[in-house]
Structure 1
């Protein structure tokens, strides 16, 4: 079984309700995920996004670049049951906006500049596939959509729920 990074855009009102009723939130997440299976909107309009198994690589690269927002794990715990591999976390609309602004200024080439795949292996970055220089390319195709997803959330004042499933 693999671990996937999952994101859900929520309105401030939905975040308030999620903080009061975490069980409702899991139902909301499943409802939105199911709806997007039938109709895949543009990333800046989507309510759900996944980084699949690249979450840990992206987290490593962002931490290495001193990214000021934890967009891989979230920053505040949602008092909910385990949603796969731990409790979901969230980012407030202000933190989403900050992340979107900085993501927009970064390129994937900047993130991987000077990174040796052996650093990823030494750091135990999931999954353990860091045996060639081309392995750094693995998350390239998800970085731009992730940036667009955050920009869409920021433009509408949404918060973000984040979890590993």
Structure 2
């Protein structure tokens, strides 16, 4: 079984309801996931997954002191059960806007510049596939799509709920 980074765009009203009723939020997330598939453009999607690249992206962003925790979220959803590997967390619309702005200023090439695979092995970055010279390119397609997803959420004034599944 693999671990996947999951993101759900929510309106301010949906976030308020999720904070009051975490069970509703889990059902809502499942409903959105069922309605969309991988062909939905990130700018149009309510749900986005980084698949197994979540930990690599987290490592790379933290290495650059990225100001928003877009991998795990920043605020817990009170009294929420695990949605996979842990309870969900969220980013407010203000934090989504900051993340989108900063993501829009960087490329994946800049994100991986100067990274050595040995660093990833030493940090035990999941999944442990860092023996190939091309392994850093693995998240190259995911990063621009994640940026597009965040920018669309920011433009709409949405918050984002985040979990590992």
TM-score over 0.5 (shorter chain): yes
Alignment pair present for 1:46 and 2:45 = yes
Q: TM-score, normalised by structure 1?
A: 0.97
> Cα distance, 1:41 vs. partner?
2.9
Alignment pair present for 1:73 and 2:72 = yes
Q: TM-score, normalised by structure 2?
A: 0.97
What is the CA RMSD across the aligned residues, in angstroms?
0.9
> Cα distance, 1:40 vs. partner?
3.9
The equivalences for 1:5-44 within 5 A come to: 5-37=5-37, 40-44=39-43
> Cα distance, 1:42 vs. partner?
1.8
Cα contact 1:10–1:159 (8 A) shared by 2 = yes
The equivalences for 1:15-164 within 5 A come to: 15-37=15-37, 40-79=39-78, 80-164=80-164
1:23-61 deviation digits (Å, cap 9, x = unpaired): 000000000000003x84321111000000000000000
SS at match of 1:133: coil
Cα contact 1:40–1:46 (8 A) shared by 2 = no
1:83-130 deviation digits (Å, cap 9, x = unpaired): 000000000000000000000000000010000001000001000101
Please list every run of 5 or more consecutive structure 1 residues that lacks an aligned counterpart in the other structure.
Answer: none
Greater mean alpha carbon deviation, residues 127-136 or residues 144-153: 127-136
Within 2, Cα distance between the matches of 1:89 and 1:76? 5
How many residues align structurally? 164
Please list every run of 5 or more consecutive structure 2 residues that lacks an aligned counterpart in the other structure.
Answer: none
